[in-house]
Structures are given as structure tokens and as C-alpha cells.
Amino acid sequence: MPVPWFLLSLALGRSPVVLSLERLVGPQDATHCSPGLSCHLWDSDILCLPGDIVPAPGPVLAPTHLQTELVLRCQKETDCDLCLRVAVHLAVHGHWEEPEDEKKFGGAADSGVEEPRNASLQAQVVLSFQAYPTARCVLLEVQVPAALVQFGQSVGSVVYDCFEAALGSEVRIWSYTQPRYEKELNHTQQLPALPWLNVSADGDNVHLVLNVSEEQHFGLSLYWNQVQGPPKPRWHKNLTGPQIITLNHTDLVPCLCIQVWPLEPDSVRTNICPFREDPRAHRNLWQAARLRLLTLQSWLLDAPCSLPAEAALCWRALGGDPCQPLVPPLSWENVTVDKVLEFPLLKGHPNLCVQVNSSEKLQLQECLWADSLGPLKDDVLLLETRGPQDNRSLCALEPSGCTSLPSRASTLWDDDLGALWACPMDKYIHKRWALVWLACLLFAAALSLILLLKKDHAKAAARGRAALLLYSADDSGFERLVGALASALCQLPLRVAVDLWSRRELSAQGPVAWFHAQRRQTLQEGGVVVLLFSPGAVALCSEWLQDGVSGPGAHGPHDAFRASLSCVLPDFLQGRAPGSYVGACFDRLLHPDAVPALFRTVPVFTLPSQLPDFLGALQQPRAPRSGRLQERAEQVSRALQPALDCYFHPPGTPAPGRGVGPGAGDGT
């Protein structure tokens, strides 16, 4: 965004300093080089991937020095961007390998080998820029004629115009060749700051410190910047000289901006929004947001700034149960601040509420109709659906799901697919008793079916319980150890799923989709999810618990453990893990106390020392404890022992896994 002249003059000094900067016209990047060299700039940016250092095949061009210079890229006479020009100085490094016959006889062996020495040198030079939140890489192609190729000597420079950066930002620059023959050069350039504006905190107050000269007269305005519609002014004053403006921290929102301009005719106004990334401002924004009911069907979200959000109706039962979203049959609707939204309601109800989510997190929930219709009622919400032949079915919304009912009541919402009904609790209970009588009539028929299904249940039990094995791929040796454990468990009445055996499906679906499908199928079948903890897994879990996201790490593309955390953590946080999850770790690799406390709400076993208890936990919840459990544990231990020996005591090398990551020990 072009920077008005007033801002540049304040940041860079008086007009002689500003006018001394070279001006570039036009938005296009460009390159030029020293006399005798030829250079070319690629049309588009490239991926910033330096790669490993490789041996040079002979003389190569290598960056030796980075030189920066501030210039102005101007769209208009007084609207310019600060731009960073970078000059990369190049030299010839390396030398031709002397042929064996020339070494032997001390002279030229074949005139053909002279041709490469007389050839020109070419290089692809990468410039990498990082200035939060911007990062980009450009590629410069350089060619040096043979006449300038002298080993160890500078051949000139190539200049890139230019990288745009904001006032006050820190720009980090790297330069290397592609392929990379030497360690990359790096340089840090601090752009001129905004000496006239500084934001500081003092307890609950925020200070806007404006260090403007005493003779400078200027106007200052605070306003809420709106994506749609004109800005909303909050405060305005004409000031002189240095000033300190005090704001309460609760007044900060992401769209709070500052407008400043010199008190001169036809002056250009500068707008700065310093709180866009401030966490306090984002918290204040949701605290200030409100839902307002306009009519029976229409409502809007009132907030100082625009924000990404979606909304849906939910039903809040009397007694403080969580509000249950009515999705489906309704769907989430995108919400725009101050834009009227409508739900197709025929009647209002005090138990109907609106939920507003942002980034899959509940931010607002208000029962808009309660103010006009009174407190919550002891009602049950009934859902009617219509099939393709107009056949209808009715079910009651309960915390455990939707219970089928052959009835109907007063309708709240209707469309072509079905309807929502509100039914008083006493009538609902009466209908429930009708279902009990109907169930008695069907009981006799069910008994005969039970006898017929007994054989099928026995066959299902013989198939074994489903077990999903999750682990962090710390290294290839640990993956082999996991594979040995999974193979040993398959010899028991267990159906084991592990990403090692599903690489094709994992690559096709992606780790997140593959894991969610496997976890859902395992839990629906009454199976168990096994979390196999290692130092890498503990580090990932701790990172998620601390930050809520998983940062970059040295994990392979098939590491489903990283993808699994997004769904595993809610099960533990909401208390659904006991009975469905089991933890395990290997002796000498990780102590159980190193596992984060949240995951120790389920049993965590050490292997192979606690194999009998571990195998017992993998059995069906109500299955009798088999007398062969110890025998099966010994069978698994024998199958696992070669892999453990290979992992902890590989021939000729120290045992891996010791002293690596949290909780790693020597097993003593």
C-alpha cells in the first residue's frame, strides 16, 4: 500500500533526506548487473527451499557479499512505498580438477579438456526475504563470460529492485545458489521506524505516544475501520507537538485505526491500524459482540469490526443441558456483521437459541426469544422428516440422540424436507409409555431373533476386537519396532489397524481424513485406540496442549499421530476417553510419568514388562479374563524381543532413544 508523503517525511526525516532516495516508477520488479555480465529475473516467485550443500563440479559462481539500499517505489508523485534494493556480489570459487594424465606427465594431455576452462559460467542465484508477515523468494539467472572467469576473483554484482516492506519492519535476507554449493549468506536490514508513533502498555491503559516536533500542527482521529460501509469515527482532535493519548485496554479492537494529517490545505491523510494482530483486541471484539433480535424471523450480529463467523439455531432444554445445535436439519450460515439474517421460523420459542462459531470455536450463544416469550419451558423438541413417498417420521431430540415417536405437536419451523415441533414434557412422557407397550409386543419376536443371531455373535467374537494403533514416527528404527508390535498383536484375537500397513489409502485420503475414518470405525465397533507414546509423541502432545496447534517438525508425510491429535484431544478433554483409549510405552525408552497428565486418565502400560495387563485392557470390556492371558503375553513378548534388541542394541552403535526427548532415560 503506497505510503503518503507526510508519513515518509516523519519516518525518514526532513525533505532533503527523503529526496535523496532514488525513485522507481511502476510496480514491476527488475534486475540489472555489472558491465560484462548478463542477468535475468524469473517472472514469478519460487519456493524457498535451499536444499543441502552439494560438491561443486568445478568453478562455480557463489555469492560473497550482500549490500542493501533504501529506494522509493512511487505510484504517484507523493504516494510511495519504501523498497529494499539488494546487490549480490559474486566471485568464482573452486577450480578444475587436474586430469590424471596431466598429473602424471606434467603437461597438457588433450586439447579437448581446455574447452570447458574457456567456457562462460552460469548460476541461478536465489534471494530469500522474510519480513513478518511476508516471505518470498526470487530467482536471478546470471552469466559470466569466459574472459572474466578468474579463480577466487570477484566478477561483479547483480542488483534486484526491489522488496517492499513496511516502515519499522525488520527484513531478513538470505542468498544462495541453486543448487547450493556453499553456506548461504544472510543479512538483516532494519527499516526506519515510526518515530512519531509508539504504542505502550501501562497496567490497564494503553498509551499512544506521538513524538512530533513542537512546531508541527496535525490532526488526529481514532476510528473503526469497516470492510463494508464508511468508517465509524470514535475520537478527533487537532494537536500540536508531542502528545500522549491514553486508551483503556478494553477500547482496543482489531479495526481501531489512527488517522493523522498535517493541518495544511489539501493535505494527505495517513491511516495506521496497529492493533490488527493484538490478542487483547481480538478478545475485546468478541466480548463486545452482541446478537440482536429484530423481528420474529430476523436478527443480526452487532460488533465493532468485521469477523469470520457462522451461526445456527440450537435447542436448550430446561435444566441447564448444553444447547444442542439443530444441524441437521438446519445448516450453519455464514454471518456478516450488521447484516440482517433470517431463519424460516413460524413461531418463536424461549428454548430456541442462536450459536455463533468462529474457527470451529463457540464464541456467542444467546436465546433471543427468551426476552419476549419468558423463561425456558419444560418442553421437548420433536423433529419430523419426510421421505421420498411423503412418508413421515417423528423423533424427540434428547442429549443421547433422537428417539422415534409416532406423533406430532405445535410446529416451529417448516420447509419442504420436514418440520420442528415443540411438545410439553408431560405429553412427551405419555408418548414414551406408548412406545414401551409397543416394545412389549415386539419382545417375543426379538427372542427368536436372538437365538438365530447367537451363532453370528460367536463368529464376530472370534474375529476379535478392533484396535487402532497410533504412534509418532520418530525414526525408521522406531517404525520397525511398532510394526513388530502390530504383527504380534495380530496373532491374538485382535484386528489391528496401523498406518504402516495402509500407506496407499493414507496417501490418497490424507492423514487427517484417514485417521478420522479409522477412529470412527474402531469406536463404532466397540474397539480400542492405542496411543503408543515415545519421546516424539510426548513432545507433540505437549506442544498441542500448550499452543492448541501443531507447529512444523521433523515428521514424515505418513505420520498419522500428528493428524490424530485434533480429534484425540477432545475425547480426553470431554472425558470420553476412558474405556475407549489405552496408552503404552516401551521400557527403557520412556517412563510413564513423562506422558502428559491429561493422557494418564486412561491406563498407560510399559512394554514388555506389563504385557499381561496391556493385553487384558485390549479385550472386550465385558469379556471374561482368559486363563490363557499369560500365555499370550509370553507369545507377544517372544515375537517382540528381536525388534527390541535391534532397536536398543544395534550392532556397533550405542542404543538409540536414550537421552532424546522428555522422559527418556537409561532404564535403570
258-267 as b/e: b if 16+ CB within 10 A: bbbbbeeeee
273-277, 481-485, 493-497, 657-661: least confident range:
657-661
> Could you tell me the three cell numbers for 26?
511502476
The answer, yes or no, to whether residue 15 has pLDDT greater than 50, is: no
Q: Classify residue 84 as exposed, middle or buried by CB count within 10 Å of its CB (0-12, 13-18, 19+).
A: buried
User: Degrees (nearest 5) of the Cα angle 490, 491, 495?
Assistant: 30
CA distances to 29, 230, 325, 351, 413 from 383, in Å? 61, 44, 13, 15, 10
Residues of the chain above pLDDT 90, percent: 19
Q: Looking at residues 596-616, what average pLDDT do you find?
A: 92
Helix, coil or strand: residue 268: coil
Which has more pLDDT, 384 or 535? 535
Q: What is residue 265's DSSP assignment?
A: T
Average pLDDT, the chain: 77
Which has more pLDDT, 40 or 20? 40
Which has more pLDDT, 319 or 4? 319
Q: Where are the beta strands (DSSP E) in 479-590?
A: 494-497, 528-533, 581-586
Other beta carbons within 10 angstroms of residue 641's beta carbon come to 13
Which has more pLDDT, 330 or 476? 476
Q: Give the pLDDT score at 408.
A: 47
Contact 233, 223 (CB under 8 A): yes
What's the length of the chain? Answer: 668
Top mean-pLDDT range of 5-9, 81-85, 610-614: 610-614
Residues 618-656: tens digit of each pLDDT: 887 766 665 678 888 888 999 889 889 888 877 665 544
Q: Which helix (H) or strand (E) holds 440?
A: helix 425-463
Q: Give the pLDDT score at 10.
A: 54
Confidence of residue 415 (pLDDT cuts 50, 70, 90): very low
If you compute the radius of gyration of the chain from its CA atoms, what whole number of angstroms results?
Answer: 35
For the chain, give the longest Cα–Cα distance.
Answer: 110
Nearest Cα residue to 494 out of 468, 473, 518, 516: 468
Residues 106-140: tens digit of each pLDDT: 554 444 444 455 678 899 999 998 875 578 899 99
As a whole number of angstroms, the distance between CA 428 and CA 407 comes to: 9
Q: What is residue 46's DSSP assignment?
A: B
Residues of the chain above pLDDT 70, percent: 72
Residues 278-293: tens digit of each pLDDT: 888 888 998 999 888 8
Residues 441-485: tens digit of each pLDDT: 566 556 656 655 555 444 444 568 899 999 988 888 888 899 999
Q: Looking at residues 255-261, what average pLDDT do you find?
A: 83
> Could you tell me the three cell numbers for 182?
556453499
Q: Give the pLDDT score at 322.
A: 80
The answer, yes or no, to whether residue 253 has pLDDT greater than 50, is: yes
Q: What is residue 625's DSSP assignment?
A: P
Q: Looking at residues 238-247, what average pLDDT do you find?
A: 84
Which amino acid type is present at position 30? A
Residues 58-67: tens digit of each pLDDT: 889 999 999 9
Bridge partner residues of 416 (DSSP): none
Confidence of residue 176 (pLDDT cuts 50, 70, 90): very high
The answer, yes or no, to whether residue 603 has pLDDT greater than 50, is: yes
Residues 337-379: tens digit of each pLDDT: 888 888 767 677 888 888 898 888 888 888 888 777 888 888 8
Bridge partner residues of 86 (DSSP): 68, 160
Contacts 24+ apart (CB under 8 A), 95-101: 95/58, 95/59, 95/151, 96/58, 96/59, 97/58
Top mean-pLDDT range of 174-183, 266-275, 448-457, 659-668: 174-183
- What angle do the packed helices 560-573 and 535-547 form, to 10 degrees? 60
As a whole number of angstroms, the distance between CA 315 and CA 342 comes to: 17
Helix, coil or strand: residue 323: coil
Which amino acid type is present at position 312? A
Q: Give the pLDDT score at 57.
A: 86
Q: Give the pLDDT score at 118.
A: 65
SS3 annotation, 328-361 = CCCCCEEECCCCCEECCECCCCCCEEEEEEECCE
The answer, yes or no, to whether residue 550 has pLDDT greater than 80, is: no
Q: Give the pLDDT score at 39.
A: 93
User: Degrees (nearest 5) of the Cα angle 306, 81, 63?
Assistant: 115
Q: Classify residue 662 as exposed, middle or buried by CB count within 10 Å of its CB (0-12, 13-18, 19+).
A: middle
Which has more pLDDT, 592 or 415? 592
